[in-house]
Structure formats: C-alpha cells, structure tokens
Structure 1
Amino acid sequence: MAAGSTTAEKSGANKPKGSSERPSRTGTRNLRFRVPAPRVLLVVLGVVALVAGGIWALYGSTWFRVERVKTSGTRILTPGEVEGVAAVPVGSPLVSVDIDAIEARLRRELPRIDSVDVERSWPHGIGLKVTERKPVLLLEKGGKLIEVDANGVRFATVDTAPRGVPRLVLDAASSPSLRRFDADRLLREAVRVRGELPGEIAENTRVVRVTSYDSVTLELAKGRTVFWGSGEHGPAKARVLTALMKASPKAGHFDVSAPTAPAASGS
C-alpha cells in the first residue's frame, strides 16, 4: 500500500504553478487611485459654489455697491468741495473703489488738506475723514495773504486774515545770512519760533519779523516788542520771557536772545 501524501504535498498540489502569495500589481494600483467618494465630491463642489457666489455678490450683484459718500472733519472746505474732487464712482462695486487714488487726488488738488482717510463703509458707503491744515503764520504777497502751516507749508491764499494768526514779515533782502539760509529756511525758523511761544504771548503776537537767521523779532499787542534772536533754545527763551514779562509788566521791549542774560526796557 502506497504511503499517503503529506499535508504539505496536498497543499502544494492545490496551488497552480507560478502562483505567489504577494498581491498583484493591478490590485496595488487600484488601491492608490480610488475614485473619490461622493461625499468628498459634494464638499469640493460646495466650496467652489461658495467662492463663486462670493465673487458674484461683491462684483456682480447690487448688494455691495456705492450709494452714498459721507465727509467729516472739514472746517474751511465744504463737504461738496471734497466730494467733488474725490469723484467716488457711485454705483460701482464697493470692493473695487481705488482708495489710494482718491486719497492722492484729494491731497494733490486740495492743498488745504493735511491728511485724509478714505474708508469703505459696508454695504453701500464711502467715508472721507479729512484733517485740514491750520495756519500759524500769514505771509503777505501782492495784497493777498498766504497761509503757512506748522510745517512751513504754504497751502492757501485768503483775502481776510484768520483770527489770532500773526503776519510774517521776511525782511532779509540785505542780510548776509541769505547766502547760507534762503527764504524758505528763514520761513521755517519763523514757524519754529511761533510754535514755541507760550499760549498768552502767542495770542498777543501780531507780527513775526525776520531780518536774518539770528534776528527774529515779535511785535505784540499794545506796541510791545520781543527780540527773540535765532530760533535756537526756544523752550528756554519761552520760559524766560514769561517770567520777565511778569516781573516787568510795564516794560515795552524784551530781549531774550541770550536766555541766560535777558533784559527788559522801556514803558
């Protein structure tokens, strides 16, 4: 009787030749490139639809279009003047308004404007927040008064002097200092002196006269004068002048050009 076949032999007999325990390459590729599940496709389509809808709402719909312009902060200028120069495109998509271009146009065409903020006010507005320049001196030229701000910028011509703003007289035509300091530099020095005057003295100043870089004179109310000298050491000169005027209330002329050795004279 022939010996029975072993379990291993039976197992081997059932396997076709060339068979392998490893998964086929085709099966591996199918695992790598599975078709996305329907749920994933729905999420992707939803995101695309949301983005497209947002773009349409901002640019294509009437929901977010410019309908009004509001101006604030004006003192001398009128809202109509500002809005006319701003030329905000009413009816356009709010998101497409060129804010930088509007700001640049306003500052270029309206020199009285020191700064302006152009803001979108959703869903239908544009806000123009204006800060105007303030005159600190008035430079007379050809019968007109030119307003000068705290930075020495000449920004507007007026017929009537604003209240409390002194005139600037540049009388330095024959001064040797013009070789080193031109008229614009002397103007800035006058502005510097004006900005460092104590409050009450500033209110009483009628004229700031500049004959050279080292010679600035203040003409006050009631005929009093102050020789300030150069624009250097302004805070110290302001303190000394305040004390000197209190100590000599009847004096008509004050000299603080050397703040360590001030003087008062006249009556």
Structure 2
Amino acid sequence: MAGPTTAERGERQQESSDPPLTRRRLRLPRLRTMIILVVLLVLLGAGSGWLLYGSKWLRVERVSVAGTRVLTPDQVLEAADVPVGAPLISVDTEAIEARLRRKLPRIDEVDVVRSWPRGIGLKVAERTPVLVVQKGGKFIEVDDEGVRFATVSEAPKGVPALELTVSRSSSAAASLRRFDDARLVREAVRVADALPDGVARGTQVVKVRSYDDISLVLTGGTTVAWGSGEKGAAKARTLTALMKASPDARHFDVSVPTAPASSGS
C-alpha cells in the first residue's frame, strides 16, 4: 500500500507546526459570536411576544362598522361581541364572523380585519330581499338565493309578494316530495331574477302553484303565465316582444317561449 505523497507530508508538517494557542484563539471569537447571536434572538423573541401580548400599545380599543343599510352599527357591535382590551393579535376573527352570521341572518357577507395598532374593523354586506312572504301581519324577506332571512312589520317597497298555493292533495304528494316548499321558493326567486326590468318593477305578486306553474300579477291586474323557472332569458325576451305587440292585452303566456300567447283587452 503506497504511503503519503510528498505534498501530504508537507501539509501535515505545517499543521503540526501551528502553535496550539493560535488555533484556540481562532475558535474563541467564533464561539463568542454564536453565543451573542443566540442571546439576541432570545431577547428579540421575548420582546416581540411581550409587545404583541403583554404591552398596552397593541390592545383593542376601537371597533368600527361599515356596510350597514337596514341594520344599525350598534346591532352589529352587540352581535360581534369583540373583546375590547384584549391583545389585538389574540382576537379570533373567524369566531366573530361566525357570531355575526348566526345572530344576524340579514348579513350575507362579513369580513373582520385587524386595524393595527388598536382597532378591529367589521365590514358587512346585507342580504337584499327579492320576494316577501306574508305571514299573519308580518312579512318574511327572501333573498336571491331563496334564503328567508328576516321578518319585518312592513313589506319593503318595490319587492313582489310570493304566494305559495300548492295543492296538498294525495295526487300531488309525489310532486311535493320532489319539489318541496324550499325548492319552489328558489324557483320563484329564479323567475323574479329573470324578469325584464320594466316587468320586474311592475310585478306585485309571484304565484306558485307547482314547479312548472308559476305566474305573475302586474300593476293594474295584468297577469303573466310563466311556467317553470327554466329558459328564463328566452321567456323574458318573448314577454318583452309580446307586450310591445299587444300593449292592451291583459293576459300573457310565455310558459312555452316558442309559442307565446296574449289575450284580453
């Protein structure tokens, strides 16, 4: 087996010739630097933790509300129950959002944001009623997703009433199992959403007898047989053209948009 080369023997001789004290001095500054860095990191972490959780400068002092229309800011503040005085970093924004949705169904969207250094912002978007259901002397508001979200004492202006006059006979039982009231309400919303602007403004009542038997009552008593919520865009175009062609008609039928009809005067 070959021995060390001349170069290797020279390197070993050079290393053995270095004074032990010199090598020790080289190691000491490195060790001292590492210790200082570790101490600084520990102090920085402790200081940051105290600043975020223990100091009085980053605690919740203000809660602002934006986006309300029917709700009042005080109602939102009460439902949110933001822990004023708590460290801002520890506030559970998701829990606040959940409380607002649970306590105030009128809220459709909510965003809870930290406003450094001492604030919480509550940004809400309220549901908009597209139909109302009368129950007793009250009115239940229904949004564009078919959600019944609020009961009010007065019907909002310009929002059509929804009348569910579904047959409960035994012959209709199978249909009701397939299209329950919730599904029929969504179909009514679907129809209301498809109406031409001029017709929508004049619609007073949306009547639902079954999934494919939905009709409208307009201002002045004019009626429209719409059928199901399917092919809404085609029905809207057909109704607009039919009303222009027969402005004095009292009844329009667009349940089959390719074969519309009008009658009465």
The alignment's TM-score, normalised by the length of structure 2, stands at 0.87
Give the equivalent residue in structure 1 for 2:6. none
Matched, 1:56 2:50: yes
How much has 1:43 moved relative to structure 2?
Answer: 2.5
**Aligned counterpart in structure 1 of residue 84 of structure 2, from 90, 102, 112:** 90
Report the 3-state secondary structure (helix = DSSP H, G, I; strand = E; otherwise coil) of the residue aligned with 1:83: helix
Q: Which amino acid aligns with 1:124?
A: R
Instruction: Show CA shifts across 1:208-227 (max 9, x none).
Output: 00111111010000111100
CA distance in 2, matches of 1:174, 1:153: 23
How much has 1:63 moved relative to structure 2?
Answer: 1.2
Give the equivalent residue in structure 1 for 2:9. none
Stretches of 4+ aligned residues off by more than 6 angstroms: none
Report the 3-state secondary structure (helix = DSSP H, G, I; strand = E; otherwise coil) of the residue aligned with 1:63: coil
How much has 1:180 moved relative to structure 2?
Answer: 2.6
Matched, 1:265 2:263: yes
Instruction: Show CA shifts across 1:168-194 (max 9, x none).
Output: 000013462324311111111101101
Give the equivalent residue in structure 2 for 1:15. none
Report the 3-state secondary structure (helix = DSSP H, G, I; strand = E; otherwise coil) of the residue aligned with 1:102: helix
Instruction: Show CA shifts across 1:20-60 (max 9, x none).
Output: 9695xxx7xx88x9454433332322222122111111111
Gaps of 5+ in 1: 1-19
CA distance in 2, matches of 1:50, 1:183: 61
**Aligned counterpart in structure 1 of residue 95 of structure 2, from 98, 101, 108:** 101
Give the equivalent residue in structure 2 for 1:248. 246
| More displaced 10-residue stretch of structure 1: 36-45 or 241-250 | 36-45
| More displaced 10-residue stretch of structure 1: 40-49 or 220-229 | 40-49
Matched, 1:110 2:104: yes
Give the equivalent residue in structure 1 for 2:153. 159
How many pairs are equivalent?
Answer: 243
Report the 3-state secondary structure (helix = DSSP H, G, I; strand = E; otherwise coil) of the residue aligned with 2:158: coil
CA distance in 2, matches of 1:55, 1:160: 53
How much has 1:91 moved relative to structure 2?
Answer: 0.7
CA distance in 2, matches of 1:47, 1:200: 69
Q: Rg larger in 1 or in 2?
A: 1
CA distance in 2, matches of 1:115, 1:63: 31
Report the 3-state secondary structure (helix = DSSP H, G, I; strand = E; otherwise coil) of the residue aligned with 2:199: helix
CA distance in 2, matches of 1:241, 1:187: 22
CA distance in 2, matches of 1:142, 1:234: 32
**Aligned counterpart in structure 1 of residue 201 of structure 2, from 193, 200, 203:** 203
Give the equivalent residue in structure 1 for 2:210. 212
Give the equivalent residue in structure 2 for 1:16. none
Matched, 1:72 2:66: yes
Q: Which amino acid aligns with 1:215?
A: D
Report the 3-state secondary structure (helix = DSSP H, G, I; strand = E; otherwise coil) of the residue aligned with 2:204: strand
Give the equivalent residue in structure 1 for 2:116. 122
CA distance in 2, matches of 1:112, 1:180: 29
Instruction: Show CA shifts across 1:57-112 (max 9, x none).
Output: 11111111100000000001100000001110111100000101000011011111
| More displaced 10-residue stretch of structure 1: 36-45 or 144-153 | 36-45
The alignment's TM-score, normalised by the length of structure 1, stands at 0.86
Give the equivalent residue in structure 2 for 1:192. 190
Instruction: Show CA shifts across 1:6-33 (max 9, x none).
Output: xxxxxxxxxxxxxx9695xxx7xx88x9
More helix, by proportion: 2
Q: Which amino acid aligns with 2:155?
A: A
Aligned sequence identity (%): 62
Q: Which amino acid aligns with 1:193?
A: V
CA distance in 2, matches of 1:61, 1:178: 62
Give the equivalent residue in structure 1 for 2:225. 227
Report the 3-state secondary structure (helix = DSSP H, G, I; strand = E; otherwise coil) of the residue aligned with 2:247: coil
Give the equivalent residue in structure 2 for 1:150. 144
